[in-house]
Structure formats: structure tokens, C-alpha cells
């Protein structure tokens, strides 16, 4: 019994890891396609049908390039940087519930790699570690552009993590739990008589707005991609990187986007819940599988949104970035916490 | 300062109102614009599979035609060189020897015939000037890019139509 449980857990962890990497791989393809479509072009279409083998070709190219380490770089840290970025990016998808429970042979199996009762804190801790990969890589390159990029990344991530944490605190006041699975399950309740529509976005719209802005900043995406700002800093923190070092940084960015999308979908957009999920009268396992599909649809939408915004908005100036973070988002998120707390107290008083 | 034309408009730089300062409406406007472009018809022509449609009267690379028996039509009269506004055509005339009747149609023929494709403006006046219907501008071939300038001087080897197979 124990062994089979272990086997199932291992299988789910393996699947989550594989899916994360697969989605990150095809995000590079999707990014280029979305960019092309928005700019009235057709994008990569030569490698395989519709260019679907493009990510493979890119990976092969990166693997065969020379792994160049600058003469005055700290060799250990130079390699540790991208490795750490990739490691932290891959770790954070472990606690995301990718579905409800499958009941097989009387056993309820949670479609989640690891259940920890502080899931959100785990995600935040790992995401906060992610900046070390950029910091170390940028510093170890011994290049002023890399160092500037690394410094920008560090200060930007610290500034926006505050607002992000605050927006999450308001959410936690509503949900009353730190477990990702419980938060996802709570959103499956009824709202206006529609089951599976008790999404947190209806309780925390401002919190979600703050969260999504901070998610853009945390993943170093346009309009907050100042760490790799190629117009000012050549390539930012990965100026000196070639071959798979560069590949890992780029890949880590896409894994981060996937994780950020999954967290947003889980925390605010109902996770694996979909409207009328319990009123359709479908078997439990079917509902679970449908829920997983719906969750991935939500995740893909958010990944698309990341790309959509990237090819729409120009980059912030650094002082604008800091003004937005410290003078607008943090006060707004504190206000959001206060209003949410007041509303919860008022509700307790009235009902 | 006094305006001379009275057409100058005085612009007022108003402070931004709340929705403008929030930037969110502007961002959504931008997103809707890019989304419209997302579904627009793409301008790309996928070259090796599709080619750009060419006009029926499009003038491309020259060809020196042969007649129905495979003999060169050109008699090196030089009218094309005279007609050429870009002075791209030069030729050397020669007399047909005995036994060459199957190669050249008339007693006089062009020993060398060169067109400088860098000078040529593809106007087609040579085609109009030719009394023997020997030179034509094809509508399906272009003079391709090359690395050296002298490669653009097309001699008879590249201009004369290949011999029809039944005459070989």
C-alpha cells in the first residue's frame, strides 16, 4: 500500500515536472508566434508542420554552441547562476494543485505533487530565491552591464515582492488558509447558485490587479524587463552568457511565467473549478479531469496574456518602476488589506 | 510673439485626469489594438511555396530568340543598341561562313552580344526596336544578384535561347 502510494506520488511529480518543462519549451514557440501575429507576420513556420519543431531546433542549436566563460569571471558562480535560476523556477510548480481528486480503486488521489499546508509561502519563498540566480550570474560575469542588470533585478524583485505579499495577505484574509489545495477547493463552492464559481477574483479584484502587475515584475517580463533591458544594458544579466547558460536563463523565465500563471489561476480564477461543475451530474473522475483541462486553459490564457502585454507595452523607465512599486502598489495593497479586513468584520457583525 | 499667419494653435498641457493617471484604460486600448492585429490577414508571402503574382507585361531578363529551325534571329544590325537609353547593349557583327547556315538565319550575325544588366533599365525599347523579333524581355525571369560586377555583363552564352532538343 505504501509503495503504491509512493509510486503514484512519484508519477505525479514526474508528470508535473515534465509538463512544466514542456509548456516552457513551447512557450518560446508561442511567444514568437504571438509576436509575429501581433506584428502582422506569420512567425516560425519552417521547422516541422507550422514550425512546431522550432523549440527543438533552438535547443539543439544552444546545446552545440560554445559554452564560453569570460577570463575574469568567477567560474563556479558563473555556472551556478543559471543553474540556480532554473532550479528555483522548476521547484515552485510542486505545490500547485493541478486538479481535484481522482478516485481509483477506492483510493482518493490528489492531482498535486506535494501538499504542504503553507503552499503559498513555499511558492513565495522559492520565487524570492529565484532572484539569486540572476544576481549571482550577473555578478560573476565581471561585466558592468551584467552587474547593473543584476542590481536592477534584485531591487526590482524586492520592491515588488512587498506589494505582492500584501495583495496575498488580503486574499488570505478571505480564504483563511495558506494551503493551495484548500484555496482551490474553497472556490468550488456555490456563488449565486452556480457551483464552482466562488472565485476569489470576485472578492479581490484590486488584489488581483496588484498581484498580476507584481507577477509581471517578478518574472522580469515587459513592461518590467529592466534587468535584461537590451536597449540600455546590452543583454543585462545574461550579457556574457552563451550556449545553455543563456538557454537556462531564458528557459527559467518561461518556467516562471508558467508558474506565475498557474498561481494566478489557482488563487484568483478558481483553479481547477469551472462553472456548473457539480450541477452537470457527471461522475467524480470526469469532473476532475475536466477541471484539470479547464485549469490548463486558464494557465494558457495567462501565459498568452503575458505575451500579449509584452508585444503591446513599452518598457518602464527605472524611476517609473520604483515609483509604481513603492508609491502606488504598496499603499494600494495596504489599503486593500484594510478594506478587506473591515469588510470581513462587517460581514461577521451583520450576518 | 505675434503670430504671422494666425493659424498657430495654442496647445494647453492639461494635467492628466484620474483615469489617465491610472494608465489602465490606455493599456486596455493598446491591448485591443494589438488583438485586432493578431487576427488581421498576414502580409507575408511564403516565398518558395507561393510567389508574388507578376503582371503579364512585366519585363525581366532578356532572351535572344532562335527561329523555328533553331537558327539565331539576330543579325547584329545594332538598332537595339541605338534604341537603348541606358547604353547597355554592345555587339560585334560578323559574316556568316559557308556551312553555318543552320546556326544563323542571315548572312550577318552577332559574334558577340553583351548586355550590361547593371546599366539596363528594363524599359523594353530594344524589344520594340528589333526588326527581326530577336530580342525579348521575359516575364518570368529576373537578373539574379551576383557577387562581382563583371558577372552582370551577360554574353551570348547566357542570352541566347537554348537550342531546341530536336535540332541537337
* Domain total of chain A: 1
User: Does the pLDDT value for residue A201 go beyond 60?
Assistant: yes
Q: Which residues of A touch B39 (CB under 8 A)?
A: 37
pLDDT at A78: 87
Compute the average pLDDT of residues A175-182.
Answer: 85
pLDDT at A106: 72
Q: Residue A65: which domain range?
A: 2-350
In 3D, which of A43, A169, A179 has the Cα closest to residue A120?
Answer: A179
Q: Which residues of B touch A34 (CB under 8 A)?
A: 38
pLDDT at A1: 55
B18 is in an annotated binding site: no
Does the beta-carbon distance from A40 to B42 stay under 8 Å?
yes
User: Does the pLDDT value for residue A278 go beyond 80?
Assistant: no
Place of cell 540600455: A232
Does the beta-carbon distance from A40 to B35 stay under 8 Å?
no
ipTM over 0.85: no
CA angle in degrees (0–180, nearest 5) for B20-B26-B32:
160
The stretches of A39-140 forming alpha helices (DSSP H) are 54-64, 75-91, 119-140
Compute the average pLDDT of residues A182-193.
Answer: 78
User: What is the CATH code for B62-167?
Assistant: 3.30.70.3270
pLDDT along chain B (168 residues), means of 10: 78 82 85 89 85 85 88 90 91 88 88 91 91 89 87 90 70
Closest chain A C-alpha to B16 CA, distance in angstroms: 16
Q: With an 8 Å Cβ cutoff, is B38 touching chain A? A: yes
Compute the average pLDDT of residues A247-270.
Answer: 88
The domain spans of chain B are 62-167
pLDDT at B125: 92
User: Does the pLDDT value for residue A69 go beyond 80?
Assistant: yes
Give the percent of chain A with pLDDT over 90: 4
Residue of B nearest to A33 (CA): B38
Closest chain A C-alpha to B15 CA, distance in angstroms: 18
Does the beta-carbon distance from B44 to A311 stay under 8 Å?
no
SS3 content of chain B, % helix, strand, coil (to 5): 25, 15, 60
Closest chain B C-alpha to A309 CA, distance in angstroms: 7
CA dist B59 and B127 (Å) reads 10
pLDDT at A105: 72
Using a CB–CB cut-off of 8 Å, the residues of A that contact B are 34, 37-42, 45, 308-309, 311-313
Closest chain A C-alpha to B55 CA, distance in angstroms: 25
pLDDT at A324: 85
**For A248-258, what is each residue's pLDDT tens digit?**
888 888 998 99
CB-side exposure of B81: number of CA atoms within 13 Å? 16
Give me chain A's average pLDDT, please: 85
pLDDT at A104: 74
Q: Which residues of B touch A37 (CB under 8 A)?
A: 37-39, 42
Amino acid at each position: 500500500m505504501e509503495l503504491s502510494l509512493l509510486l503514484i506520488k512519484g508519477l505525479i511529480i514526474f508528470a508535473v515536472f515534465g509538463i512544466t518543462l514542456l509548456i516552457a519549451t513551447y512557450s518560446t514557440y508561442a511567444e514568437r508566434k504571438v509576436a509575429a501575429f501581433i506584428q502582422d507576420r506569420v512567425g516560425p513556420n519552417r521547422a516541422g508542420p507550422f514550425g512546431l519543431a522550432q523549440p527543438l531546433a533552438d535547443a539543439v542549436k544552444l546545446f552545440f554552441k560554445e559554452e564560453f566563460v569570460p577570463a575574469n569571471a568567477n567560474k563556479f558562480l558563473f555556472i551556478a547562476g543559471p543553474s540556480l535560476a532554473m532550479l528555483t523556477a522548476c521547484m515552485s510548480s510542486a505545490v500547485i494543485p493541478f486538479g481535484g481528486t481522482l478516485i481509483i480503486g477506492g483510493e482518493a488521489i490528489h492531482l498535486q505533487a506535494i501538499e504542504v499546508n503553507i503552499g503559498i509561502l513555499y511558492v513565495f519563498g522559492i520565487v524570492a530565491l529565484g532572484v539569486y540566480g540572476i544576481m549571482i550570474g550577473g555578478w560573476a560575469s565581471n561585466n558592468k552591464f551584467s552587474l547593473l542588470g543584476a542590481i536592477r533585478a534584485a531591487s526590482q524583485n524586492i520592491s515588488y515582492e512587498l506589494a505582492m505579499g500584501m495583495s496575498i495577505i488580503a486574499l488570505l484574509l478571505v480564504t483563511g488558509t495558506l494551503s493551495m489545495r484548500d484555496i482551490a477547493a474553497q472556490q468550488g463552492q456555490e456563488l449565486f447558485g452556480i457551483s464552482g464559481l466562488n472565485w476569489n477574483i470576485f472578492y479581490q479584484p484590486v488584489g488581483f490587479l496588484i498581484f498580476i502587475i507584481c507577477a509581471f515584475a517578478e518574472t522580469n517580463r515587459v513592461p518590467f524587463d529592466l534587468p535584461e533591458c537590451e536597449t540600455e544594458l546590452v543583454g543585462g544579466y545574461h550579457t556574457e552568457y552563451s550556449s545553455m547558460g543563456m538557454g537556462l536563463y531564458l528557459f527559467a523565465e518561461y518556467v516562471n511565467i508558467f508558474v506565475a500563471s498557474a498561481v494566478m489561476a489557482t488563487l484568483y480564477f478558481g483553479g481547477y473549478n469551472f462553472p456548473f461543475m457539480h450541477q452537470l451530474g457527471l461522475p467524480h473522475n470526469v469532473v476532475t479531469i475536466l477541471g484539470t483541462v479547464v485549469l490548463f486553459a486558464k494557465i494558457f490564457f495567462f501565459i498568452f496574456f503575458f505575451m500579449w502585454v509584452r508585444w503591446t507595452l513599452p518598457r518602464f523607465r527605472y524611476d517609473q518602476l520604483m515609483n509604481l512599486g513603492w508609491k502606488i502598489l504598496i499603499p494600494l495593497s495596504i489599503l486593500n488589506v484594510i478594506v478587506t479586513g473591515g469588510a470581513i468584520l462587517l460581514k461577521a457583525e451583520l450576518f | 510673439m505675434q503670430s504671422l499667419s494666425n493659424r498657430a494653435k495654442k496647445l494647453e498641457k492639461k494635467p492628466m485626469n484620474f483615469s489617465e493617471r491610472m494608465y489602465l484604460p490606455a493599456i486596455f486600448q493598446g491591448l485591443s489594438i494589438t488583438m485586432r492585429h493578431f487576427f488581421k490577414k498576414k502580409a507575408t508571402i511564403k516565398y518558395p511555396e507561393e510567389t508574388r503574382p507578376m503582371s503579364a507585361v512585366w519585363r525581366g531578363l532578356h532572351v535572344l530568340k532562335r527561329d523555328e529551325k533553331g537558327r539565331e534571329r539576330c543579325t547584329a544590325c545594332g538598332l537595339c543598341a541605338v534604341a537603348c537609353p541606358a547604353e547597355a547593349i554592345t555587339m560585334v557583327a560578323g559574316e556568316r561562313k559557308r556551312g553555318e547556315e543552320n546556326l544563323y538565319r542571315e548572312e550577318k550575325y552577332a559574334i558577340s552580344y553583351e548586355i550590361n544588366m547593371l546599366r539596363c533599365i528594363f524599359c523594353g525599347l530594344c524589344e520594340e526596336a528589333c526588326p527581326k523579333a530577336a530580342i525579348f524581355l521575359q516575364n518570368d525571369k529576373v537578373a539574379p544578384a551576383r557577387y562581382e560586377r563583371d558577372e552582370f555583363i551577360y554574353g551570348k552564352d547566357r542570352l541566347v535561347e537554348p537550342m531546341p532538343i530536336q535540332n541537337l
